[in-house]
A and B are shown apart, each in its own frame.
Chain A
Amino acid sequence: MLDRLVRLPSVAAQGQGLPETAALVRELFVDGGGRAEIYSRADGAPVVLAEFAGRSDRTLLFYNHYDVQPAEPLGDWTAPPFQVTVRNGQIMGRGTGDNKGDLVTRLAAIHTLRETAGGLPCRVLFLVEGEEEIGSVNLAAYIHALRDRLHGDACIWEYGDRDPQDRLHVLAGCKGICYVELELEAIPHDLHSSFGAIVNGAATRLAWAVAGLRDAGGRIRIPGFYDAVRPPSAAATAAARRSSFFDEKEFREFVDVRRFIGGLTGDAAADALLFEPTCTVCGFETGYTGSGMKTVLPRRARAKIDFRLVPDQDPEEIVALLRAHLDREGFRDCTITPFSRERAFRTDLADPFVQTVVDAAGAATGRRVALVPTSAGTGPMHVIGGPLRMPILSIGTGYWGSNIHAPDEHIRMADFEETIVMIAHVLEQFAA
């Protein structure tokens, strides 16, 4: 089943093989005894919505995606990217780790339960999209259109890792994002830089604008930026502590950074990583950047800024606050072009679903479980968890070395089998 999926190169970035893969996903659901339908929009990849009836009406929704990252650089693969190769206990191929492997373990768990005497203990829904790797651009619209069919009690998110200490991670949230491009056109044409005595060029002015967004202590200087920030619950902070997801020493060595922002260390650094919004310069370009010297006063400068958001910050409001801030600071002529905008999401750790999954996953795998209250990264959890009002947890079949998005993507055979059992156990406990 996994090999059939991997053989379809469903690369969202290149618009390759998406309807074909959606058709195969639907076929796999139907073959597994479910009802499945494909929904399409004019300008997006189709989604597959599947339903498996169960003994009870309690409903668990699985979110997965059938699209994958491009396979390039092809020369760095030691096995063909678009077929499954089993080698040294590893299942290799593009999409095995992200996210076709997880889809298959979930289907296999349902298949296993259906073959038992009692059958599937609860109702199960699948929402499988084809644009996750390009920012889930149509997911919100699909959810809105299909909301009446997506009623459920809880959601299992797409993936999950085992860490180097062999612990199983259960992830309960993710940050939001507001990614913008700033562009400043200071003068109509490049000038000789000797005019710098009386004219401020775009490079200098945008450096001022960008430098003014955040102070060296890490505090973002946009008035109102923190107003909507919901502090983490005591349970979330405690979970972060218990999970000890953050190995400070290893991380420092990995990135060769001597000092974290604001001089944070230990738990304070770990908390900042999970619970603080950010402001990061991802790119800056202006004027002459070749070798040697060119004495130019550049007319235009551009910068890309990434704000990671926490609940309940609204990316649209952040854009408006940024606009007001730049205007006040004398940068009215600096334009803002927003790109990715997503809200953060955090499942309430007091929700009984959390303990159910943590216990079931631990019991089924015999592993220690690290409950991580939120990722430092971003995902479209809010798109589902917001309107559908469900607790969401992410568990899956990956491990720390799965090379997702990279050459030689793979999962471990033993994890694959373990995950099938784990998902089956979660379904049983969820229904109980």
Chain B
Amino acid sequence: MPSLKDLAREHTGPALETLRTLVGQPSVAATGEGIAECAALVRRVLEGAGAQVTVRAHDGAAPALVADFAGASDRTLLYYNHYDVQPPEPIDEWTSPPFEPTIREGKMFARGVADNKGDLTTRLAAVRLLQQVHGRLPCRVKFFVEGEEEIGSIHFGDYVRDLAGPLRADACIWEFGQRDVKERLQINLGIKGICYVELEVVATSRDLHSSLGAIVDGAGTQMAWALASLKDPKTGRVLVDGFYDKVRAPSPRELDAARALPFDEAELKHQLGIDRFIGGLTGFDALRQLLFQPTCTVCGIESGYVGKGSKTVLPRRARAKVDFRLVPDQDPQEIAKLVDSHFARLGLRVTVTVLGPERAYRTNLDDPFVSLVAKTARDATSREVTISPTSAGTGPMYDLAHTLGVPIVSIGGGYWGSRSHAPDENIRLADFEETIYMMARVIERFAGLP
């Protein structure tokens, strides 16, 4: 009788065909291109595998889907994925067209093949594999697939509350995971939150001749002061009063886990193109800052004349975008209020508009689901497994974890060269097959099978 691993190999071909169909359908959340079509396609694929599918389409939002696969037990594993992708631009930097999946050198290239349609496909393939092997799934498996991840999952919280019943589960596997440059498999248990704000200063009722700068502070100057006041240049510490009040310090277990992570400082500096981290941090201090400290980053500024040469204008208006990455238990709406008060205290009239609020979340390292996934992944892939208590990035984990009360672990089919969000996005076919087998083993182990 063929082993599960052998059967996984047999399932890889058909799964790749499914993936071809999915990535052949553009679904760019930023422009809305193909979103409805892709949601319908995902629904057909899920139903084709035997799921009960619930589709919700809130006003002005991309549809979200919940797929429910019945199993031998009611113990339920939930997968979170998204069917939307980043824009393909710049198109001319792609070696093959972004929406025409192409296989070369053992890799499949296409927009969304890594982020995140490939992961959706490996998980679905694992379900089909187990259905074939066991006749029916050993436990219940659900999928929650949204279409706005690449634009900040703006309606995610609403959908989760709306679908709290259909989404009920005991544990959740998050959307993605990578193999690092040393081919270790990364497991991630958390994300940072975000408070992304737009700032606006309107200094005068009209643009003025810049000679009036002798007595009138223009918007450009005031915005520079406002932005400069947010963070200490020497230490990188955020200078907004109360900003750190709610910060939950990493637990000793989380620090230990972070310490156990491979961290190649020289390699990271090289990759980022810098020779010094903020505040001169080195070694583990830098990694601790990256994972556990909140941030304040200016993402954009626009004011006055920015063309060639000189224009002597005192600009009436300035706008800026600032990204605060948050850690548990900071509340993005509260942070925005603190920033607002900070400017008021300095006598600066700055309007603060929150664009993307999300809370941070970290799954408890001691949750048995974490060790179950880690051990299963190690056994299934024979890879060294690293467990990161959190990513430096952001995602809507909090909404799901908080509403459903489930532990969340992120693991998947990507690798260090997947080029997510960039031209020539790709996955390795060997990783794809490995991930199908790994996910099948995770479901079996989760269901209590040996």
**A203: nearest chain-B partner, CB-CB:** B298
**Contact among A191, A195, A256, A282 for B312, CB-based, below 8 A:** A282
User: Contact: B306 with A304, CB < 8 Å?
Assistant: yes
A229 at the interface (CB under 8 A from B): no
User: Contact: A188 with B310, CB < 8 Å?
Assistant: no
A142 at the interface (CB under 8 A from B): no
**B213: nearest chain-A partner, CB-CB:** A280
**B348: nearest chain-A partner, CB-CB:** A216
Which of B98-106, B166-174, B240-248, B285-293 faces chain A? B285-293
Contacts of A189 in B (CB 8 A): 273
**Per-position contact with A for B287-320: 1 when CB-CB < 8 Å, else 0?**
0011001111111111111100111111100111
User: Contact: B224 with A210, CB < 8 Å?
Assistant: yes
Interface set, chain B 386-401, CB cutoff 8 A to A: 391-394
> Given that A257-B216, A276-B214 are contacting pairs, would A287 and B227 also be in contact in the complex, using a CB cutoff of 8 Å?
no
Which of A99-107, A293-301, A364-372 faces chain B? A293-301
User: Contact: B214 with A197, CB < 8 Å?
Assistant: no
**Per-position contact with B for A300-337: 1 when CB-CB < 8 Å, else 0?**
01111010100000000000000000000010000000
The CB with the most chain B CB atoms within 10 A, among A281, A302, A306, is that of A281
**Contact among A179, A193, A284, A378 for B323, CB-based, below 8 A:** A193
> Given that A211-B227, A298-B300 are contacting pairs, would A282 and B305 also be in contact in the complex, using a CB cutoff of 8 Å?
yes
B359 to A: closest C-beta gap in Å: 15
> Given that A288-B321, A301-B301 are contacting pairs, would A261 and B309 also be in contact in the complex, using a CB cutoff of 8 Å?
no
Contacts of A203 in B (CB 8 A): 227, 297-301, 320
A28 at the interface (CB under 8 A from B): no
User: Contact: B221 with A214, CB < 8 Å?
Assistant: yes
Cα A340 to Cα B310 with chains together (Å):
7
B204 at the interface (CB under 8 A from A): yes
B-side interface residues, number (CB < 8 Å)? 74
A269 at the interface (CB under 8 A from B): yes
A39 at the interface (CB under 8 A from B): no
Contacts of A339 in B (CB 8 A): 309-310
User: Contact: A330 with B196, CB < 8 Å?
Assistant: no
Interface set, chain A 237-284, CB cutoff 8 A to B: 254-257, 260-261, 264, 269, 272-274, 276-284
A46 at the interface (CB under 8 A from B): no
The CB with the most chain A CB atoms within 10 A, among B286, B289, B311, is that of B311
**A279: nearest chain-B partner, CB-CB:** B213
B336 to A: closest C-beta gap in Å: 13
User: Contact: A201 with B321, CB < 8 Å?
Assistant: no
**Contact among A187, A278, A296, A301 for B213, CB-based, below 8 A:** A278
**B273: nearest chain-A partner, CB-CB:** A188
Instruction: Bin the interface of chain A by size.
Output: 35 or more
Contacts of B211 in A (CB 8 A): 175, 278, 308, 375-378
Contacts of A279 in B (CB 8 A): 213, 221
**Contact among B216, B277, B318, B393 for A284, CB-based, below 8 A:** B318
User: Contact: A306 with B212, CB < 8 Å?
Assistant: no
A88 at the interface (CB under 8 A from B): no
A198 at the interface (CB under 8 A from B): yes
A192 at the interface (CB under 8 A from B): yes
A286 at the interface (CB under 8 A from B): yes
Cα A311 to Cα B392 with chains together (Å):
53
User: Contact: B152 with A293, CB < 8 Å?
Assistant: yes
User: Contact: A207 with B295, CB < 8 Å?
Assistant: no
B235 to A: closest C-beta gap in Å: 11
User: Contact: B311 with A204, CB < 8 Å?
Assistant: no
User: Contact: B298 with A287, CB < 8 Å?
Assistant: yes
Cα A376 to Cα B391 with chains together (Å):
54
User: Contact: A197 with B289, CB < 8 Å?
Assistant: yes
The CB with the most chain A CB atoms within 10 A, among B273, B289, B306, is that of B306
**B309: nearest chain-A partner, CB-CB:** A339
**B234: nearest chain-A partner, CB-CB:** A330
> Given that A255-B206, A278-B211, A330-B233 are contacting pairs, would A211 and B225 also be in contact in the complex, using a CB cutoff of 8 Å?
yes
**Contact among B213, B296, B311, B319 for A304, CB-based, below 8 A:** B311
Cα A293 to Cα B233 with chains together (Å):
24
Contacts of B393 in A (CB 8 A): 192, 194
Contacts of A195 in B (CB 8 A): 272, 290, 392
Interface set, chain A 406-424, CB cutoff 8 A to B: none
User: Contact: A306 with B312, CB < 8 Å?
Assistant: yes
**Contact among B299, B355, B394 for A296, CB-based, below 8 A:** B299
Contacts of A118 in B (CB 8 A): none
User: Contact: A283 with B233, CB < 8 Å?
Assistant: no
User: Contact: B295 with A308, CB < 8 Å?
Assistant: no
Contacts of A297 in B (CB 8 A): 297, 299
Cα A280 to Cα B217 with chains together (Å):
8
A231 at the interface (CB under 8 A from B): no
**B196: nearest chain-A partner, CB-CB:** A293
A200 at the interface (CB under 8 A from B): yes
User: Contact: B304 with A284, CB < 8 Å?
Assistant: yes
A228 at the interface (CB under 8 A from B): no
B278 at the interface (CB under 8 A from A): yes
Cα A317 to Cα B357 with chains together (Å):
48
**B203: nearest chain-A partner, CB-CB:** A257
The CB with the most chain B CB atoms within 10 A, among A203, A264, A272, A340, is that of A203
Contacts of B355 in A (CB 8 A): 292-293
Contacts of A376 in B (CB 8 A): 211-212, 214
User: Contact: B301 with A198, CB < 8 Å?
Assistant: no
User: Contact: B299 with A284, CB < 8 Å?
Assistant: no
B228 at the interface (CB under 8 A from A): yes
**A196: nearest chain-B partner, CB-CB:** B297
B203 to A: closest C-beta gap in Å: 7
**B279: nearest chain-A partner, CB-CB:** A198
Cα A254 to Cα B209 with chains together (Å):
13
**Per-position contact with A for B349-362: 1 when CB-CB < 8 Å, else 0?**
00000011000000
User: Contact: A288 with B315, CB < 8 Å?
Assistant: no
User: Contact: B315 with A282, CB < 8 Å?
Assistant: yes
> Given that A175-B211, A272-B214, A304-B306 are contacting pairs, would A216 and B299 also be in contact in the complex, using a CB cutoff of 8 Å?
no
User: Contact: A198 with B299, CB < 8 Å?
Assistant: no
A212 at the interface (CB under 8 A from B): yes
**Contact among A264, A272, A289, A340 for B302, CB-based, below 8 A:** A289
Contacts of B261 in A (CB 8 A): none
Contacts of B392 in A (CB 8 A): 194-195, 197
A400 at the interface (CB under 8 A from B): no
The CB with the most chain A CB atoms within 10 A, among B301, B356, B392, is that of B301
B210 at the interface (CB under 8 A from A): yes
**Contact among A207, A257, A277, A375 for B298, CB-based, below 8 A:** A207
**Contact among B273, B281, B301, B311 for A289, CB-based, below 8 A:** B301
User: Contact: B216 with A255, CB < 8 Å?
Assistant: yes
**Contact among A177, A208, A284 for B303, CB-based, below 8 A:** A284
B445 at the interface (CB under 8 A from A): no
**Contact among A192, A255, A287 for B301, CB-based, below 8 A:** A287
User: Contact: A201 with B298, CB < 8 Å?
Assistant: yes
Excluding A292-B151, A298-B299, A306-B312, 18 further A-B contacts by CB distance (< 8 Å) are: A194-B325, A194-B394, A197-B278, A210-B228, A277-B214, A281-B218, A282-B220, A282-B312, A283-B305, A283-B306, A293-B196, A293-B321, A293-B355, A295-B196, A297-B299, A304-B305, A306-B210, A378-B312
Ordered by A's residue number, 17 sampled pairs between the chains whose C-beta atoms are within 8 Å are A195-B272, A195-B290, A199-B277, A204-B297, A255-B208, A261-B217, A281-B223, A282-B220, A282-B304, A282-B310, A284-B302, A284-B318, A289-B319, A298-B299, A302-B306, A339-B309, A375-B211
A residues bordering B, Cβ < 8 Å? Answer: 175, 177, 179, 181, 187-189, 191-201, 203-205, 207-208, 210-212, 214, 216, 254-257, 260-261, 264, 269, 272-274, 276-289, 292-298, 301-304, 306, 308, 330, 339-340, 375-378
Ranked 9 nearest A-B pairs via Cβ: A196-B297, A280-B213, A281-B220, A211-B228, A287-B300, A203-B298, A256-B205, A188-B273, A285-B306
